[in-house]
A = this chain, B = another copy of it.
Amino acid sequence: MSPNLDRRNERSRQAIIEAAMALCREQGLARTTVEEIAKRAGVGKQTIYRWWPSKTAVVEEGINELAGTATDFPDTGDLLADLRTQMAGVASILSSPLFAPYLSLIGAAQDDPELAKSFLDGLVKPRVNAARERLRAAQDQGQLRADADLDDVVELLYGPIYYRALLHTRPPSPAQVDELLRIAFAGLAPR
């Protein structure tokens, strides 16, 4: 019934993912068709449908491979420095053409609850969890207000970065991260 993983052609698998990512970068996910991917990858359409339920699943896998450990959290003991490092990485990713398919994926998820779920579980949650743990450690060390809800803090820090990327106001940047951390840690109220 379901295909035999042992006999899978790894070369085809990679060619498909690379073709999908490349086309997605060139034209966006919406304008990318399965037929184009197959042709570009030198592969039959059936080989795509055999292993993935849809083109978005291919791109999801591509993003996962591409992200790799690039968004891992450092722990130098200095929370602010670590946040600056990691958030700058995220800002860089969200403004990089290489990762354009990532934004397309978030876009597609707005009308596709299944994609939204697998996107959330596979890409977002693990990274949010890692961030929360880093924040908890810092909180234990007194580098963060004790009464701050850590999920809210994560949203406060990363929301503005995604905001810029998804609303296309201006590209996220290290400068934004600096200003963000400055305001967040000092507060908006006048002294």
A residues contacting B by CB (< 8 A) are 27-31, 103-104, 106-112, 116-117, 119-120, 124, 128, 142-146, 148-149, 152-153, 155-156, 158-164, 166-169, 176, 179-180, 183-191
Contact = CB atoms under 8 A, between A and B. Distances in A.
A-B pairs with the 10 shortest C-beta distances? A187-B187, A107-B110, A28-B111, A159-B160, A159-B159, A159-B163, A30-B111, A107-B107, A155-B160, A185-B189
Contacts of A159: 158-164
A142 to B, nearest CB: 6
A97 to B, nearest CB: 13
A185 B187 contact: yes
Give how many copies assemble into the complex.
4
Contact of A120 (B162, B167, B184): B167
Contacts of A111: 27-31, 104, 107
A162 B156 contact: no
A146 to B, nearest CB: 7
A120 B186 CA distance: 30
A101 to B, nearest CB: 10
B188 A144 contact: yes
A168 B105 CA distance: 13
Given A29-B111, A145-B188, A162-B163, 4 more contacts: A30-B112, A31-B111, A155-B164, A156-B156
B166 A162 contact: yes
